[in-house]
Amino acid sequence: MTQSTFKVVIFGAGSIGCYLGGRLLSSGVNVVMVGRKTMQERLRSTPLTVTDYGGFRFHSQLADHQYVTSAEAAGNADLVLVTVKSAATSEAGRQLAPWVADGIPVVSLQNGISNAEHLQAGRPTEIDWINGEVVKLAEKLGTDAPINRKLVQLMHEREKIPKAWGARELLLALMIK
């Protein structure tokens, strides 16, 4: 399979990030995963194996440049996917900010979220850990993240007045006018 020239960097390549990376690699996407040294060492000696419940199976012995430990890899990315846990979001933003070029999309795929439970219990949600940081990073880079900004606003409203939220209602609420 020919590899795409479109470069996707996955920052926070643990379980979720490696799964996403493997799925993208299996489709021919040029992927660089950024994660911990221990995972890098494991993947140098053992192929990345990705499976799913439907029978999908993919194995790949990663080249050294496909799993790295420095955010510098995001310097020439076309897309950055962030897959860190909520508590690591601020640090991820700090590490990525010097390297991500203006106009490059940074998409948060949060691992470890429990907003529904926090809302039901009347506790503050974790919305600021990911989406709030995306909004701050966008501002720092001189751009906007309107969907993330709206989601932060909506979740803060739900923290004050908890109520059930259907998918259609959320989608309509997120439409930016």
| Contact present, 27 and 3 (Cβ < 8 Å) | no
Return the pLDDT at 21.
Answer: 94
Q: 57-60 and 48-51: which strand pairing?
A: antiparallel
Return the pLDDT at 115.
Answer: 42
Tens digits of residue pLDDT in 47-83: 999 988 788 899 999 999 999 999 999 999 999 998 8
Return the pLDDT at 50.
Answer: 92
**Where, residue-wise, is CATH 3.40.50.720 in the chain?**
1-112
Yes or no: domain 1-112 corresponds to CATH 3.40.50.720: yes
Please report, as a single letter, which amino acid is at residue 118: H
Which comes out higher in pLDDT, residue 112 or 106?
A: 106
E strand intervals along 20-110: 30-34, 48-51, 57-60, 67-68, 79-82, 106-108
Tens digits of residue pLDDT in 15-40: 889 999 999 999 999 999 999 999 99
Which comes out higher in pLDDT, residue 163 or 8?
A: 8
Tokens of 20: 């996403």
Return the pLDDT at 151.
Answer: 85
Which residues face 30 on adjacent strands? 7
Instruction: Compute the distance between CA of residue 152 and CA of residue 138 in angstroms, rounded to an integer.
Output: 14
Instruction: Compute the distance between CA of residue 61 and CA of residue 145 in angstroms, rounded to an integer.
Output: 36
C-alpha 174, offset from chain centre:
19
Name the average pLDDT for the chain.
Answer: 83
What distances in angstroms separate CA 78 from CA 47, 49, 170, 173, one per listed residue?
A: 25, 25, 29, 29
Return the pLDDT at 114.
Answer: 53
| Contact present, 83 and 12 (Cβ < 8 Å) | yes
| Contact present, 85 and 36 (Cβ < 8 Å) | no
Mean pLDDT over residues 121-141, rounded?
Answer: 75
> Is the pLDDT reported for residue 161 higher than 60?
yes
Return the pLDDT at 158.
Answer: 79
Please report, as a single letter, which amino acid is at residue 155: M
- Ramachandran assignment for 131, one of left (phi > 0), alpha (psi -120 to 50 degrees), beta (any other): alpha
